Amino acid sequence: MDSATLGYPNVNYKSPATSRTEIMPSASAPSRPLRVFVLLEGTSTSGAVKPVTQFVREAGRHAESNLEVIVGTFIRGSVANDLEETFRQLGVTVELIRERGPWDWRIIPQLLCMVTSWHPDIVWTHGSKSHFLVRLLCLHHRAKWIATHHGYTTESWRVRLYNHLDRWSLRGAHRVVTVCRAFADELARRGVPRARLYVQHTPIRLRRYRSDPSLPTLRTQLGISADSRIVLTVGRLSSEKGHADLLKALAKRRELGRLLPPIAVIVVGDGPERSRLTALCSEMELHDTVHFVGFHEDVRSYYSVADLFVLPSHSEGSPNVILEAIDAGVPILATDVGGVSEIVKDEVSALLVPAKQPLALANGINRLLADESLRKRLIEQGRGVLELHTPEEYFRHISTVFIECCEVA
């Protein structure tokens, strides 16, 4: 099903020949570049911030783009964080919005002052807090507002309240860019006009993983035997990521027979579910099989030792970890949720199974570990996927949204 059938002006499926992405200045173009004020939440360049850093790098590489980017970010305390440092190193002006807590209303005059001072053509937001502030303060009457929607989690009443407010906020945006068709459908049902919705997957900058001399040390550090196959999963430890299903799959796999090859599971990530997951490991006597290694900004060494990557999520948008696994040459087993099947195809570039079915995960693990030809085929076919998710393509498509939005009176 193409984007026209879905009813979305999906820039991700426009061909370069027909796209109006030519943002090179013309003789009639204004002398001032198109000014984009990006409002970000968080302290690191992971997650929702990562695509913005890719966009800024590409804007720097394309001097003819005639874009000026200013980043506004919320900060608590006086110590510089990774997000601030990264953008400053990229030569981007960073405006700090100082706050003492999540409901510090003193951020309002700071934000108003910044928008008045910079007078942006576009305000580009990336989180429910930023979305809410733009609509509450009517900043979308001062500039075109592009909101990027990355999906919702439901781990607490406060997050659910934020989600509810966010749906109200997004109805006021001039354009809403979301990361998969499933999310676009949900937003349309919640009242965001379909004509304003764009689907754009997240990009990946290829790292071309190679063998790492520290690999034997990593196995030794984790106490993984030389004959064990390594299954890797990377992601925040929250309920929608389905890690409990993976643990249950390991228990079911153990019940399937004694002749299966031994495996070790490495879980990279941290979050509110960690204590429950470690307790579940103990309950199922999996503490010798599963290794929780916490959050790591650089996960290359873990991909390098993996025989198989598993994404057991109940909900996903455009999971960057799938692209990382493809780049690392690791075969993928994933649940068919959200935008997963928009990135990889079942039996072609990944093996997909239904969500919330531990037995299906267990069978998928066994099948992939037993079938070397299948693993090789998935790895080979997966490489073509990366060409569709480059930072260059992301920059081109998001620039299209900016220009088309500004052209509308």
Per-residue model confidence as pLDDT tens digits over 359-368: 999 999 999 9
- Quote the pTM value: 0.85
pLDDT computed for residue 371 by the predictor:
95
pLDDT computed for residue 261 by the predictor:
85
Contact 137, 108 (CB under 8 A): yes
Arithmetic mean of pLDDT over the chain: 87
User: In whole angstroms, what is the distance from residue 309 CA to residue 324 CA?
Assistant: 10
Task: Name the one residue in this structure whose structure tokens are 């019940």.
Answer: 255
pLDDT computed for residue 201 by the predictor:
94
Distances (CA, A) of 147 to 19, 38, 46, 132, 170: 21, 10, 18, 10, 7
pLDDT tens for 128-187 read 999 999 999 999 999 999 999 998 877 677 778 888 899 999 999 999 999 999 999 999
Domain with CATH 3.40.50.2000 in the chain: 3-203+390-407, 215-386
pLDDT tens for 184-222 read 999 999 999 999 999 999 999 887 655 565 667 888 889
Higher pLDDT, 333 or 14: 333
Mean pLDDT value across residues 317-336: 95
Q: Tell me the CA end-to-end span of the chain in Å, nearest whole number.
A: 31
Q: Which 3-state string (H, E, C) describes 312-361?
A: CCCCCCCCHHHHHHHHHCCCEEEECCCCHHHHCCECCCEEEECCCCHHHH
CA 27 to chain centre: 38
Q: How confident is the model at residue 62 (pLDDT cuts 50, 70, 90)?
A: confident
Q: How many residues does the chain have?
A: 409
Q: Which 3-state string (H, E, C) describes 169-187?
A: HHCCCCEEEECCHHHHHHH
Task: Name the one residue in this structure whose structure tokens are 């998935």.
Answer: 378
**Which CATH number among 3.40.718.10, 2.60.40.1510, 3.30.565.10, 3.40.50.2000 corresponds to the domain 215-386?**
3.40.50.2000
User: In whole angstroms, what is the distance from residue 132 CA to residue 134 CA?
Assistant: 6
What letter does residue 63 receive in the DSSP assignment?
A: G
- Name the token pair of 334: 């994933």
pLDDT computed for residue 358 by the predictor:
96
| pLDDT at residue 230 tops 90 | yes
| pLDDT at residue 13 tops 70 | no
User: In whole angstroms, what is the distance from residue 292 CA to residue 300 CA?
Assistant: 16
Burial class (CB in 10 A: 0-12, 13-18, 19+), 217: exposed
Long-range CB contact pairs, 276-285, < 8 A, 24+: 276/244, 277/237, 277/243, 277/244, 277/247, 280/244, 280/247, 281/247, 284/247, 284/248, 284/250, 284/251
Cα maximum dimension of the chain: 74
pLDDT computed for residue 92 by the predictor:
94
∠ CA 126-131-135 to the nearest 5 degrees?
150
The CATH code belonging to domain 3-203+390-407 is 3.40.50.2000
User: In whole angstroms, what is the distance from residue 312 CA to residue 244 CA?
Assistant: 9
User: Which residues are bridge partners to 231 per DSSP?
Assistant: 265, 308
Q: How confident is the model at residue 19 (pLDDT cuts 50, 70, 90)?
A: very low
pLDDT computed for residue 47 by the predictor:
80
